[in-house]
Amino acid sequence: MTAPIPPTLTHVLHLEVEVAAGIDLGTTPNGVRRIVPIVGGRVSGPLMTGTVLPGGTNVQQVRSSTTTAVLARYVLESDRGELVMIENRGVRRGSASDVARLNADEPVDPANIYFRSTPVFETGAPRLSSLNDRVHVGAGVRRKGMVIFDVFEVV
């Protein structure tokens, strides 16, 4: 019997997702909630180039002063007109002071923040169909008015 082959990562997309100010819903039965509108952006990389379409949302569950769970849903459009839906679940964690600075749109060293995700894609575009049935992971950075993600295919 042979052992499984350890996975490797291949970079497929770079996302620069523009966001508007968050809407704080307050404490709900599911915890403190914040809704962040996605208003546009750019996508580039070896798989495709194009835009992030406005109209998506990032629904955040603030678990503590150090940890936020995120669930973003939005649509990418390639320069060829191909549409790709993305559902990106993740966790952002850092010290209470670093997270407070992020929430105030102040810069924080990305090395101080754990920001990882598991994006799932859906598309009818034949050229991009590999997105439908591959596992992906993402590494993110929060900037003022923007979230930057690099997406990797798990090979």
In a domain, 7, yes or no: no
Domain containing residue 91? 13-154
Q: Phi-psi bin for 98: left (phi > 0), alpha (psi -120 to 50), beta?
A: alpha
Return averaged pLDDT per consecutive 10 residues of the chain, 155 residues in all: 92 98 90 95 97 98 94 98 98 96 90 97 97 97 94 98
Q: Hey, how many other C-beta atoms are within 10 angstroms of the C-beta on 115?
A: 21
In a domain, 6, yes or no: no
What is the structure's pLDDT at 118? 98
What is the structure's pLDDT at 24? 92
What is the structure's pLDDT at 103? 85
What is the structure's pLDDT at 87? 98
Of 42, 18, 92, residue with least CA distance to 62? 92
In a domain, 4, yes or no: no
What is the structure's pLDDT at 31? 84
In a domain, 3, yes or no: no
CATH number for the domain spanning 135: value is 2.40.160.20
In a domain, 1, yes or no: no
What is the Cα–Cα distance from 108 to 115, expressed in whole angstroms? 12
In a domain, 2, yes or no: no
Rounded to two decimals, the pTM is 0.92
What is the structure's pLDDT at 29? 87
What is the structure's pLDDT at 105? 85
In a domain, 59, yes or no: yes
In a domain, 36, yes or no: yes
Q: How far is Cα of residue 17 from the mean position of the Cα atoms in its chain?
A: 8
Q: How many folded domains does the chain comprise?
A: 1
